[in-house]
A = this chain, B = another copy of it.
Amino acid sequence: MITAGIVGGTGYTGVELLRLLAQHPEVRIQAITSRKEAGQPVAELFPSLRGHVDLAFCDPAEAHLDQCDLVFFATPNGIAMQQARELVKAGVRVIDLAADFRIKDVALWEQWYGMSHACPELVAEAVYGLPEINRSAIAKARVVANPGCYPTAVQLGFLPLVEAGVIDVAHLIADAKSGVSGAGRKAETHTLFAEASDNFKAYGVAGHRHLPEISQGLGLAAGSAVGLTFVPHLTPMIRGIHATLYGQLQRKVDLQALFEARYAHEPFVDVLPRGSHPETRSVRASNMCRIAVHQPQGGNTVVVLSAIDNLVKGAAGQAVHNMNLMFGLPETLGLTQVPVMP
């Protein structure tokens, strides 16, 4: 039984983590902290958890996180880096669902995230928690940097092509569409129902924080720097990311076979049959990534469609997958929910 703590459980990744951990047979949640909501029963804030989670939010000072086997940070950026050092010192393993440990180049991180990094030495040590590339390193990691939602969908879609060296990595295009829960549970005008409903828009075209994260991952896979144009969009749905990826093929290849081979043994990547179009709802509330690859009109442009649930494979589910790896459990334990459709 893993004793786990959650720091910052009042956002969407927090409540999703609770949904998954409440059903996980090998986890006991010791504490869930929130300075603001301390004392309030979790199920009062999130009635969906009534009968499943009996804890109350507690003040970080009283959470005894150093007695946990594992602490999840479901916090805004910049929090985990302040607390991880001490926890690691106490022998606690850490999974950060925010961005603090994702970018190896600390200067680059500081530029994109607009703050000084409080714990650069753990950045160096931290393992990027995309199991499909780092499985064995994750198993031994003390600190796992859980990938961003866009980076998960985009990297899984591009990886087979980049690793096989069949596309021009200097001109990659990722046109990604996210449901509104990706923006979090914070009250903001642009994510109000009356603003985001019946509406579609791009945002952050000039530069989005997930760009350096994706570039880092694809660069490692390619063995060289990549050129990526990344355009995120907000689409009026709650959950889901759909990434439409474009690249220029540099040689002839059986794309379907390439993708199927790459992900043959991956429990959470499902390569759809030739000609398919994954829908985000086909992964809703599940940890699956569904991918289809196309070569329209037989031209040089390859089109990859990659769909995930941003809160599961793009956040809490991937974190639980990482936990399973870190503690030697079956990878899919607690993660076999059937997607909710319709």
Contacts and interface: CB of A to CB of B under 8 A. Distances in A.
Nearest to A201: B279
A180 B202 contact: no
A311 B278 CA distance: 23
Interface residues of A, number: 89
A206 B296 contact: yes
A229 interface: yes
A227 B307 CA distance: 27
A301 B171 contact: yes
B229 A194 contact: no
Contacts of A299: 227, 229
Interface in A210-260: 227, 229-231, 233, 235-240, 242, 244, 246, 248
Contacts of A12: 194, 342
A294 interface: yes
- Quickly give the copy total for this chain: 4
A296 B244 contact: no
A21 B189 CA distance: 24
A325 B270 CA distance: 36
Instruction: Give the interface centre of A195, A248, A305, A311 by most chain B CB atoms within 10 Å.
Output: A195
Q: Which 3 A-B pairs have CB atoms at the shortest separation, nearest pair first?
A: A48-B341, A48-B339, A180-B193
Interface of A: 12, 15, 19, 22-23, 46-52, 171, 173, 175, 177, 179-181, 183, 185-189, 191-203, 205-207, 227, 229-231, 233, 235-240, 242, 244, 246, 248, 270, 272, 275-286, 288, 290, 292, 294, 296-297, 299, 301, 303, 305, 307, 311, 336-342
21 contacts: A12-B342, A15-B342, A23-B337, A47-B282, A48-B283, A48-B286, A50-B270, A175-B175, A180-B194, A185-B192, A187-B189, A188-B192, A191-B194, A194-B342, A197-B236, A206-B275, A206-B297, A207-B297, A229-B299, A229-B303, A239-B342
